[in-house]
């Protein structure tokens, strides 16, 4: 698996701060110039480096890799890239930033190699940490017959052996409409149950330790998100498994298995876990000034 990190700022052994960014669906790593330069400008006079992850040589290839590919292999390739990064070594670690689906993917990087490489903080904007149970635009309650059919087809496809390790979005489709579809998700999904320590016979202690050792884990949810279904997935929220009322959300809380199995309890105990709401905003609706003020200066300085 190919991976590279486009560099912005001071990206050598003298780096004082490294921010590793994983972009969202339909974007490419080399298209984040505005955000990357905002980070490096905001961190002056520190010698800051932004690594924007890419999984193909070209922009179009990287966009394609956001739709077709094995997410677990991409996560492992990102870890291999960071292991040889002089900037990461010079800074004694890195901060991780995930945009939309890049949120649950860069979290995989933190969990698989973050302790080894010194992951310091993790910030996600509009991530889908508890997966999605409906296609974009198909999350209305009650769903139309068309939306219901489309979501059922997506759920079935995500369990198909030919699809589940090739279609990126299938690797975080989490159907909780019935107990049977949820059990199918646990047994067949190629990425999310494993990275969430969800329904596993033995929870991965390394994943828990990696999250618990972060200086801070910050999750932004967009209040009027119309792409992430349900929007509360950005905070590990999900619908009730087999619930008749599909508008009822099971929030992230201290009683959830994921809360304990992933080390969120350790972060929460001393104020290192933050759930932030972006009021009135649709999915990924923000500008550079807001990003600089609310993300860079609060969590990367």
Nearest one of 132, 144, 136, 141 to 185, comparing CA atoms: 132
Task: Note the pLDDT of residue 7.
Answer: 82
What is the rounded distance in angstroms from the CA atom of residue 268 to the CA atom of residue 266? 5
What is the tens place of the pLDDT at every residue in 54-87? Answer: 999 999 999 999 999 999 999 999 999 999 999 9
Q: Give the pLDDT band (50/70/90) at residue 203.
A: confident
Q: Give the pLDDT band (50/70/90) at residue 291.
A: very high
- Mean pLDDT of the 22-46 span: 86
pTM of the model: 0.93
138 pLDDT more than 70:
no
Whole-Å CA distances, 16 to 45, 46, 162: 10, 6, 44
Task: Note the pLDDT of residue 195.
Answer: 95
Nearest one of 67, 72, 45, 42 to 56, comparing CA atoms: 67
For the chain, domains (ranges, CATH) are: 4-132+203-299 (3.40.50.1820)
Q: Bigger pLDDT: 7 or 252?
A: 7
User: Residue 65, Cα to own-chain centre: how many angstroms?
Assistant: 15
- Mean pLDDT of the 112-135 span: 94
**What b-and-e string marks burial along 145-176, b requiring 16 or more CB atoms within 10 Å of the CB?**
eebeebbeebbeebbeeebbbebbbbbbbbbb
């Amino acid at each position: 698996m190919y991976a590279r990190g486009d560099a912005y700022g001071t990206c050598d052994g003298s780096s004082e701060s490294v921010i590793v960014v994983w972009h969202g669906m339909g974007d490419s790593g080399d298209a984040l110039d505005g955000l990357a330069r905002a980070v490096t400008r905001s961190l002056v006079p520190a010698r800051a480096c932004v690594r924007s992850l890419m999984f193909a040589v070209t922009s179009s290839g990287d966009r394609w890799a956001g739709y077709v590919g094995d997410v677990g292999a991409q996560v492992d390739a990102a870890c291999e890239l960071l292991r040889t990064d002089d900037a990461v070594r010079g800074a004694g670690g890195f901060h991780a930033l995930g945009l939309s689906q890049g949120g649950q993917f860069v979290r995989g990087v933190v969990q698989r190699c973050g302790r080894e490489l010194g992951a310091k903080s993790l910030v996600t904007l509009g991530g889908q940490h508890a997966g999605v149970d409906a296609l974009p635009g198909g999350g209305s309650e009650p769903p139309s017959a068309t939306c219901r059919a489309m979501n059922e087809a997506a759920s079935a496809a995500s369990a198909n052996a030919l699809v589940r390790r090739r279609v990126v979005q299938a690797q975080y489709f989490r159907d909780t409409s019935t107990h049977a579809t949820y059990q199918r998700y646990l047994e067949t999904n190629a990425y999310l149950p494993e990275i969430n320590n969800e329904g596993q016979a033995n929870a991965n202690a390394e994943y828990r330790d990696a999250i618990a050792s972060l200086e801070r884990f910050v999750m932004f949810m967009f209040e009027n998100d119309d792409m992430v279904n349900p929007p509360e997935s950005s905070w590990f929220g999900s619908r009730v498994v087999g619930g008749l009322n599909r508008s009822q959300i099971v929030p992230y809380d201290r009683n959830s298995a994921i809360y304990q199995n992933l080390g969120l309890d350790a972060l929460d105990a001393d104020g290192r876990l933050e759930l932030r709401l972006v009021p009135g905003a649709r999915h990924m609706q923000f500008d550079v000034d807001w990003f600089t003020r609310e993300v860079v200066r609060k969590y990367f300085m």
